[in-house]
Structure 1
Amino acid sequence: MREHLATLGVVLRKVMDRELPSLGPDWWREGVLLKLSYQQRATADENEWSSLVDLDVAALLRVVDGNWELLRRRNIVKWEARNWLKEAGSARNRWAHEVPGREPGADRIYRDLDTLALLAEAFLPGSAEAKQLADARAEALAALAAAPAADAAESGPTTPAVPVSDFAPGVVVRVKARPELTGVVTQVVESGSQLRLTVFHGQLTQTYYESQVEPVESRSGEHVSAEDLKVRLTAAHVLHPSVSRLYSLNSGRIEYEPYQYRPVMKLINADRPRLLIADDVGVGKTIEAGLIIKELQARQKLESILVICPKPLVVEDKWRRELKRFDEDFAHLDSGTLRHCIDETRAEGRWPARYRKAILPYSLLDEKLLLGDDTGRRSRTGLVSLMPPVKFDLVIIDEAHHVRNSATWSHRVVKHFLDSAEAAVLISATPIQTGSEDLRTLLRLLRPDTFVDNQAFDLMREPNAHLASVESAIRLAGEGWQRAALKELAGALETSWGSRVFRADPRAQEVRDLLDQDAVSDRDRVKALRIAQSMNTFSGLINRTRRRDIGSFTTRKPETFEVDFTPEQGAVHADLLDLAGRISTSKGHGQSLDFVLSTLQRQAASSLNGLAPFVEDLLQHKLTAEELSEADAEVETLEASALEAFVAEISEIADRAGALTEDPKLDRLLSYVDQKRQLPNNKLLLFSTFRHTLRYLLSNLEATGVRVGLVHGGVPDDERRELRARFAKDKGEPDALDVLLSSEVGTEGLDYQFCDALVNYDLPWNPMRIEQRIGRIDRRGQKSETIAIKNLVVSGTVDAVIFDRCLSRIGVFRRALGGSEEILGELTREIRQIGEDLTLSDAERAQRLQQITDNKIGRIQEQEELEERESALFGLPLKKLDEEGIEQAASPWLAPDQLARLVKRYLLDQGYERADSLFDRPISLLRPSKEVRATLADDLRAVAPESTSPWSRWLAGGAEQSRRLTFDPSQADGDDVELLSPVHDLVRASAASQAAFAADSTVALRVESKAVAPGLYPVAIHAWTYLGARDDFEVVVTSAEDALSADLATLLVAAQDSATSSELTAPSDLEDLHYLSWTDARSAHIDRARSHVESQLASLKTTHQARVELVEDQIAGASHENIRRMRESELRSVEDDFSTRSERLEATIARSDVTTTLLCAGIVEVVYGQ
């Protein structure tokens, strides 16, 4: 066949040599290079090819396909030849991946030659090459006609081979002393009175005497009923997860939202299971983490999980409660239990089983934990000293912005855990800007192999601006949008990353092919958009679900309470501004000083009465880093030495502020609090940036009889937990709170959806901070249709100007702006620059704020319009698209009714007599005998020996005699109800118990269909396993009727037994059809695997080069011989790491294959569906 493909190549080369030069002097680039795939173009460039003679058949077919419109306009070919061209490409791929030792059937040879002959005649009618292919086709047809006769002759009576003994080579045997150990006899040698057998056990060969082994009886010729078939296929899907299917559906006691499966799908399709979840506040990130846990459990060993989070979330029991809804039992680690775990690991070499699923607060991540401590009477081992290192199967880092500073010990400890973890998820609701150092740091934590340094980050980010423009052009679909999108795509490919990595990525060619058409259908447009989005270099690493993508949880009703200073307050405020201006003029600008002076202004705008204690703490250096963080500081300490010459004046102003008695702003708050307390929902959450303001409000609210609490970063954990519990209580309870006062971090990560009103007593200059405040109550679970947002503003203050000219206009109080972080980040920096510039007059400050806000509002509106157009493009809301994605990922074999059938069969097999009626009700009661319960426990230990699930604990000796079971999450309202799903221990044990299909198993099935004509159809059902970077599993149905092959996998779910015979009249015909289908699928799979690996290798080489250059620069600049040797050692490690990972990737291509197992074959009777 290869010589016939070469003949077709001659035909195509002649035609294109004749036609392409007419394109002009640049015809080689325009007509050839730009039409090749990126792999082909890279080969052509490297070898400096300039003639069609250099191209192989695959490249020539691509060139012809790329120039099809040109050939059509010149009437070179007819339209139907396009199909022959596509089929010729498939034929070429098929023969390129021909399986050694397996000759294609005569039918396949004839069909492929027919395609080549038709194509040659279409391009060069009457040519010698066309005649040569036509003659080859005629010979193939003659061979095809003779094939049946030859087959008949071969199928005559034969004499069956008589085995020499029961233990002939090829016989499967079992070792009597170890029944679980089986193998294949490879050699039989006579030795005295017994035969000596050589048995192959997979990885080793062992010798036995015949008395030590026994033959394993293989079942054959078994007839499989419809019921048995369904049970076994469900078991196969449970035990062999597919990357295209979701296994975590209905695995938690939650009302999930479809968008919460986005990160799950990203993680299971990633080349490494590592992901940054940067969703907006209130989206449900803990639920997403729970779904990830259940999904990974279905696919890999997941016995140890570590969650690291802020201490308040440990104190409040939030993570433990959330994960319990997924039947996961986590233990909290405190300093004592953490020390116990480290000591046990040092002694036993393994993390203690009781704490293999643990929750650890950031507050314990310090230098002593990492490096150890030998300063006391007894030295304490640190994590770095443990050998082997502590390794968790999954590490989840919540509120990951806490480790954005790489100089902190918490960052270093987290890095230590992540470096050895199998899978990792970082979670942060703090908006992350693409170009920010925070994002660089977090991605470097997540993938240090990819993001070696800032240069590697910038290199990888470079194509994304062009790809964003490609997306924008496709969404807008304005005049010339295809040309614009192709131009931006070319720009992405011309970047350093694009030229090295995307040229090996088939997605780039696919987008270009979709866009480079005369008319692009809506379907192709959506497909092009999705592929372009997936090409974003951060797409597989970051999940970003924005609030406005998923709709509002409730309606926001903002209201502004604007008050005026009293004359006395106004005088103090004016004198403070004057003093700040004089300090700035005399001392010049500096980051710390500018922040000090602006913070004095902001404290005065928040509460003049809080100014005196604030100034006292400032001058006495008592402001903690935590307080500064709450005030949005970019520094950890404030240098107040610049204020020394002005201490007397500052103190005098502070004393005057402290002596003020009238406070209109406080009066307005008290009035609103009194109104709110009269309503059925009396809860009010109040935020202030400043602790001194909060303490002032606390004393005044308490004085009026308001039940009020205060939380901020410095409040002890027990007190914080108690205050939140009291705030959640019904207003009628005596110890309930009416009002909770909070700083920025006081409520971090906690949910207050039972509260429907929020007061901003002062306003952060960062719009994203405001969104985080509002997100505490505007989130999933909020019962109120509207939430009230009250903003208290004092006229004449810098806060009032920023609120009026900026914050109120961008819409942050009316709707979630998540997704505009880039714009809002720029706006925050510009607000700070203007707010901290004390040389500006009030008019100048207002004008500049107006200008920057006008610009940002325009950009935000433009972005929102683009997103509206995207929804219009899809013709569906995004939520609907998420729902459809989940429907496509949901396997009918993993649906509750199929799982119930599997579990029922398992329980019957174990002797549970009431299994038949077990699942007749939404909640079933399982009451097994002691013997059955013991059997179930034994089976579970074989499947999951280290399981600590509630089910395993009950089997092991729970006091209750019965256990309630359900498949419905809405019914699983108690700890005593087992929620069954594909990842539940009972389901997995049920699947593992099912026998494999016997050889030559047969079926006779009856199905209903409106798509297939009624009749009897021979079918074969195979299991295909795709081997590669990620193994996959698929059940494939083969039938001569294409519609039946496509639909039967779904129709089998409802199949019944048929009275017709299951005997096949021509099984070889089905095998030939299956072989053709398998050959095409195998070729496509190997091509995809090769393209994927080439892209991964290109990425690896790019980042490796950056790593090498960095270390070589450090070697060249080393000032000491020891440092130079250390860097040279590091360089060797870098090279070794690159070699190891390259070899691993290249090995993926070698192992890429599709293995196939015949499960059963028989007859399907199709009747017309009702």
Structure 2
Amino acid sequence: MRRKIGIIDGNPKETKGKLFYPVSVDPSQPSPYYPEDSLEKFIPPKSVEQQLKEKEFSDVECFIQSLIYKKLEKPLSDNLYTFYASRTEFQVHQFKPVLKLLNTFKQRLLLADEVGLGKTIEAGIIITELSARLGELSRVLIVCPSMLLSKWEREMQKRFSLNFDILTRNDFIKFLQRYIEYGEAEKMKGIISLQTLRSNKMIERLREVSPHFDIVIVDEAHYMRNPETLSSELGEVLSELSDAMLFLSATPLQLGTPDLFNLLSLLIPEEFSDFLLFHRLIEPNEYINNALRRLYDPKAALELLKKVEETSQREKFIKNSFYREAIDLLSRNNNLTRDQAIRLQKLLIELNCLSYVFTRTKKRDVEIQFPIREARVIRVQFTPEEMEFYNAITDFVSERFTAKYGSSQGISFAVIMPQRQVASCIQAMKERLDNIIKKRAIKTSSGDNGDVIDLSMNIDSSWKLESGEIASLSKLKKIAQKVGDTDTKFNMFVEALRKLDKEDPNAKIMVFAFFKKTLEYLMKRLTSTEYRGKVALIHGDIHPKDRGKIIKKFRQTNEIKILLSSEVGGEGLDFEFCNVIFNYDLPWNPMRVEQRIGRLDRYGQQHEKILIYNFSMVGTIDDEILNRLYRRINVFERYIGDLDAILGDQITELTKEIFNTKLTYEQKVQKIEKIAENIERRQKELEEFEKECQKFIGQDEYFNQEVTRILETKRFITSDEVLFLLKFFLKTNFPKSTLHPPKRGRDNVFVLKCDEGFRRFVRQYASSTENIKEIERKMSFDGGFLVTFSDQEACRDDSLEFITIHHPIMKAIKRFYDENKQQIHATAQFSLRGDNKYHGNYLFFIYLLEKTALKKDLILIPILVNLANEKVHIVDELCDWFLGEIVQAQPLNDEYLATYETKDFERIFKEAGEYLEMIREEEEQKLKRRNDTLVNNQIESVRQSATIKIKKAEEIIRKLKEQGKSDKDPIIRLHNGRIRNFKISMEEKIKELELKRAVSVGFNLIAGGVVKIM
């Protein structure tokens, strides 16, 4: 039982011969009485200062363990707890979003990285970082399109060991019911589809129950950009219910349209409440960014920065302490020092209103070497019989398309399906033709919509045929019979596979087709070749778990060389280990092809080159699309950005033109050329927009540099520290449990063998919200189990247990120390190997600085005093190095105990304290300025927003009066009431904000000792 510490705050009472004393353990509650024999005098431990004065030093290993624990006990604001702590290859840009989110008390972010840069990983980093800082996250909700549910579940588990449940509608309703019953005690980590949540009933139920979420993540958030939709309404409700919120979208959002504003207004409605105000707010960003780019020339930067005073936001900037400090720094310095440049970068980032709420990284911005795309065309010359069948099917579809839809209606996939099927595979179409005639209908399944022209396409389940149409199909069947078993395309495909075998025998090959019939046909035919047993198939009708097993086998073994996949089968999956793709058919919508290639061409791709094979069926309309559309927009050679933004309705238009019976073949070719020109023009416009956008969005190099600085100064828990803490804990508490390298040496791999005591300990101290059954199973192995502390080794071998500070074992150890502080030792003497210029003996003091304002920040500040000359080192290179290297400390001999006398210590300690007070005062002034600026900005936003709303209402009143309405008119009275409410609401919000101006900075000496740097 954990002992309590309290104060006797009254006289005892005698009951049955026993004295009972009132003991206050919580000043906010009445003091309970305890019997005298259950009380003992509390003797406080010696302070760090007293221990140092009396030269009481603990064992070096005990000290290292204690300092690691201190970094975990209360997470430090300038540290990151996710560095090298997931099964991912470390990339600087992936830590930029978490830095932004942590540096604003609102904790809201729109993450708009390009496709393939790892947005899912960045979201996982944010969840893990928040979990480390807040303790366990009670409720985390991920909302995404249904096709991505499995991907999110898999990525969170595989890379971050986070177990999420995929939630159905009933699952979520049950969660809401349990939340009503149990409140905050109800835990949940769930992934749910946008389609499931965006109904009136679900949104209303969410509003009624109002569950509190620690964080909500919305993938493909651009679906929420239209305020008139249920998706947007859902976003508004989720925003109200969550502490932190993350929107993910690769779609470029144009500043000139409401799209970006609408998403930001969902994330931070109090700041971005009006579209006109939004444009006024971002107006100065162009000048701030220009100044940021010219810091190498302070005078030019100053001139550029002052242009913000020419904007509508002049008053806000003149009052802004960050702005005044930046102007002062630029005015006084012709050449900036490194520290001044870093400070100015920080100040200018603070001035940009989008810096902390929006982030976008493009492929060209990162150091990742993305693969080269090499397109290879397989020319297919159909036999006359094949060509006749292809043309006959195309003509049949064109006639029915024109008759059924004309030129202005929507497109049914069932109507155009036969043409797309014959273009995909003639033999599969022959088989399908028999089925169509037999059932007198053309049926499509959800697995056959891979060539959906656009998201509004009507995917009919069937198209019932009339007798005349049946007669036409019977004629087509006779033409099909002439083809026989001939399949020129398949023969060319196998020939290409054999050539590829000689070029790259180990190549992993993906073959995409948008029809299940095509894939099944290919599977059957390939089993009669030398590829028998080396081919596997996935499509939408195969259960996701079975798909997962097939993909795992494809990824991890050489048994499967070729994977046949439909669009639906491959949705949300990554095949970065694969380097060859065959587009067995080409969707007319290039977005579908980009999605196929994007499964391979993404972060983590292991090859320098991706080979993309396409079939050119000479003399067909599909070939014209390949030659004129695809080659013009260059989709096979390079990533061309977000195709949704580029294509618009062009592909729908293309489809209508191709099936227009009034056009000749040559006219159709001209239409294809014209549409290709339009798409190419849009491409260029989008590229120009991206350049223009950078003027306002923000310069993120500062955040990349900050990630690098954290890396260099080791402001994170290193794998060495995790390894040390586990070894030390086992040695001191469970010596029968062992951690050692395997007999056959393997770098960065260890065998963890657990005795029954340690197993019981983990069961007792592991969080109730974590699933530790698998860990318990491994811990029960008599011979132990293999573990690693290295992220690189964990990526190479996912069978290894990856132990980080987020692992249940390490969390259990941290909780143990929370309850057993007597095992924490604050002083030591040791040696470190370091730079010659720092050699010598030092007294060191480590302080915890606590800053409290709109949010609380904790940082460690080490002070080192050279005992030879009493030179004080504080906030410098030596201090940064010292904190990062302590885990490498070695014991000192007893002779070093006499390196200082008590009177010298008192003088040195006093001097160190004075230096710290200078730092504290400086930090408090900075904090006050920053807090005042944040409060002032929020007050100004409230005022501007209210002013715009009031002016709009006044304008309505003015127009009504011009129409002859009086002040007593109900509509005028309504708007006058609105104006009064706007003013009252504004004043109330300003009063609330004024109360948030108070700040404080305090410190506590948590550790100290002697270090010999040698």
User: What range is the shorter-chain TM-score in?
Assistant: 0.7 to 0.9
The answer on whether the counterparts of 1:592 and 1:638 sit within 8 Å (CA) in structure 2 is: no
Are residue 1025 (structure 1) and residue 889 (structure 2) matched?
no
* CA distance 1:430–1:712, change in 2 (3 Å): farther
Query: Which structure 2 residues correspond to residues 90-239 of structure 1 after superposition, within 5 A?
Result: 180-184=3-7, 199=24, 201-204=26-29, 206=31, 211=36, 214-220=40-46, 221-222=50-51, 223-225=56-58, 227=60, 228-239=62-73
Are 1:1084 and 2:926 counterparts? yes
For each residue in 1:29-83, what CA deviation from the matched residue of structure 2 results, as whole angstroms up to 9, or x when unmatched? xxxxxxxxxxxxxxxxxxxxxxxxxxxxxxxxxxxxxxxxxxxxxxxxxxxxxxx
| Aligned mates of 2:389, 2:584 — CA distance in 1 | 17
Distance 2:471 2:42 in 1: 97
Structure 1 counterpart of 2:278, one-letter code: M
Paired residue secondary structure (2:77): coil
Distance 1:358 1:843 in 2: 50
Q: Report if the CA contact (8 A) 1:1108-1:1134 is conserved.
A: yes
Q: Aligned pair in 2 of structure 1 residues 303, 561: CA closer, same or farther (>3 Å)?
A: same
Residue 1000 (structure 2) aligned to one of 1124, 1146, 1153: 1153
Residue type of the partner of 1:255?
E
Offset of residue 1088 of structure 1: 1.9
CA contact (8 A) 1:1011 1:1043 kept: no
Q: Counterpart in 1 of 2:76?
A: 242
Asked if the contact 1:406/1:441 (under 8 Å) is kept, the reply is: yes
1:238, distance to aligned residue in structure 2 (A): 1.0
> Following the alignment from structure 2 to structure 1, what is the Cα–Cα distance between the partners of residues 108 and 880?
33
Contact 2:112 2:252 in 1 (8 A): yes
Residues 527-564 of structure 1 deviation map (CA, whole Å, 9 limit, x = unaligned): 87787677654443344333333433422111234567
Following superposition, the deviation at residue 767 of structure 1 comes to 5.2
Distance across 1 between alignment mates of 2:2 and 2:141: 38
Larger Rg: 1
Counterpart in 1 of 2:805? 981
1:349/1:593 CA distance change after superposition, 3 Å: closer
- Assess, with a 3 A threshold, how the Cα gap between structure 1 residues 947 and 1165 changes in structure 2: closer, same or farther: closer
Distance in structure 2 (CA, Å) of the matches to 1:797 and 1:520: 66
- Residue 242 of structure 1: CA displacement? 2.0
Task: Tell me the equivalent position of 2:937.
Answer: 1095
Could you tell me which residue of structure 1 aligns to residue 596 of structure 2? 773
Asked whether the 8 Å contact 2:96–2:707 carries over to 1, the reply is no
Match of 1:540 among 330, 345, 356: 356
Amino acid at match of 2:801: V
1:755 Cα offset (Å): 3.6
Structure 2 match to 1:55? none
Change (3 A) 1:262 1:853: same
Distance 2:241 2:474 in 1: 56
Instruction: State the alpha-carbon separation in 2 of the partners of residues 815 and 229 from structure 1.
Output: 54
Cα 1:755–1:964 change in 2 (3 A) is: closer
1:357 pairs with 173, 189, 212, which one? 189
- Aligned in 2, Cα 1:522/1:651: closer, same or farther, shift over 3 Å? farther
Match of 1:11 in 2: none
Q: Which residue of structure 2 aligns with residue 792 of structure 1?
A: 615
Q: Does 1:304 align with 2:139?
A: yes
Deviates most, 763-772 or 243-252: 763-772
Matched with 1:1041 is: 871
State the Cα distance separating 1:332 from its structure 2 match: 4.1
Q: 1-side partners of 2:956 and 2:714: how far apart?
A: 52
Q: Retained in 1: the 8 A contact 2:790–2:802?
A: no
SS of match in other structure, 2:361: coil
1:528–1:399 CA distance, 2 compared to 1 (3 A):
same
The question of whether the paired residues in 2 share the 8 Å contact of 1:305 and 1:392 is answered with yes
* Residue pair 2:112, 2:251 contacting (<8 A) in 1 also: yes
Deviation sequence 1:1021-1054 (CA, Å, 0-9, x none): 3221111233222222344624466324533615
Change (3 A) 1:256 1:651: farther
1:675 deviates by 2.8
1:307/1:395 contact within 8 Å kept: yes
Q: Displacement, 1:1083? A: 1.5
**Which one-letter code corresponds to 1:297 in the other structure?**
S
Matched with 1:155 is none
1:436 positional shift: 6.4
Q: In structure 1, what is the equivalent of residue 216 of structure 2?
A: 395
1:326 maps onto 2:160 in alignment: yes
Return closer, same or farther for 1:638/1:578 CA change in 2, 3 Å cut-off.
Answer: closer
- Where 2:213 maps in the other structure, the secondary structure is coil
| Corresponding residue of 1:631 | 452
Q: Structure 2: how far apart are the matches of 1:936 and 1:723? A: 35
CA distance in 2, matches of 1:282, 1:264: 18
Supply the distance in 2 between the matched residues of 1:447 and 1:623 (Cα, whole angstroms).
43
Q: CA deviation at 1:907?
A: 4.2
8 Å contact from structure 1 (residues 405, 441) kept in 2: yes
- 1:558 corresponding residue in structure 2: 375
* 1:895 to 2:715 alignment: no
For residue 859 of structure 1, report the CA deviation from its aligned partner.
6.8
8 Å CA contact retained: 2:298, 2:333: no
Say yes or no: does 1:967 pair with 2:806.
no
Asked whether 1:460 is paired with 2:307, we answer no
Paired residues of 2:377 and 2:615 also in contact (CA < 8 A): yes
**Contact between 1:754 and 1:782, CA under 8 Å: does it hold in 2?**
yes
Letter in 2 for 1:273: Q
DSSP 3-state at the match of 2:278: helix
What is the Cα deviation at residue 1080 of structure 1?
A: 1.9
Q: Provide the residue aligned with 1:111 in structure 2.
A: none
CA 1:1132–1:917 in 2, change beyond 3 Å: closer, same or farther? farther
Partner amino acid for 1:236? K
Q: Secondary structure at the match of 2:613?
A: strand
Within 1, Cα distance between the matches of 2:320 and 2:327?
Answer: 12
Q: 1:1159: how far off?
A: 3.2
How far, CA to CA, are the matches of 1:684 and 1:318 in structure 2?
25
Partner of 1:817: 640
Q: Structure 2 CA distance, aligned partners of 1:996 and 1:759?
A: 64
The corresponding residue for 1:1072 is 914
**CA–CA separation in structure 1 for the residues paired with 2:610 and 2:566:** 18
Letter in 1 for 2:242: A
Q: Distance in 2 between matches of 1:536 and 1:639?
A: 49
The 5-angstrom pairing of residues 9-28 of structure 1 reads none
Task: Give the AA of the match of 1:967.
Answer: F
Distance 1:766 1:476 in 2: 43
Distance 1:259 1:633 in 2: 33
Q: Structure 1 vs Structure 2: percent identity of aligned residues? A: 23
Q: Which moved more, 1:902-911 or 1:721-730?
A: 721-730
- In the superposition, relative to structure 1, how do residues 699 and 987 fare at CA in structure 2: closer, same or farther (>3 Å)? same
Which residue of structure 2 aligns with residue 1050 of structure 1?
A: 881
Q: 1:922 to 1:849 in 2, by over 3 A?
A: closer
- Given that 2:218 and 2:246 are in contact with CA atoms closer than 8 Å, whether structure 1 keeps it comes out as yes
Code of the residue aligned with 1:370 in structure 2: it is M
Aligned length in residues = 940
Greater shift, 1015-1024 or 844-853, is seen at: 844-853
Retained in 2: the 8 A contact 1:474–1:485? no
CA distance in 1, matches of 2:344, 2:543: 53
The answer to whether 1:274 aligns with 2:114 is no
8 Å contact from structure 2 (residues 579, 600) kept in 1: yes
CA distance in 1 between counterparts of 2:141 and 2:265 reads 19
**Counterpart of 1:60?**
none
Question: How does the TM-score come out when normalised to structure 2?
Answer: 0.73
Q: Which residue of 1 aligns with 2:966?
A: none
Question: Residue in 1 aligned with 2:965?
Answer: none
- The answer on whether the counterparts of 1:550 and 1:879 sit within 8 Å (CA) in structure 2 is no
Greater RCO, 1 or 2 (C-alpha within 8 Å, sep 6+): 2
Counterpart mapping for 1:1125-1144 below 5 A: none
The residue type paired with residue 283 of structure 1 is L
Query: 2:269, 2:570 → 1: CA distance?
Result: 32
1:778-927, aligned counterparts within 5 Å?
Answer: 778-793=601-616, 803-805=626-628, 807-818=630-641, 821=642, 825-826=645-646, 828=648, 845=671, 848=674, 884-888=708-712, 890-891=714-715, 894-910=717-733, 912=735, 922-924=748-750
Aligned partner letter, 1:216 = F
RMSD: 6.1
- Structure 2 stretches lacking a partner, 5+ long: 961-968
One-letter amino acid of the counterpart of residue 776, structure 1: R
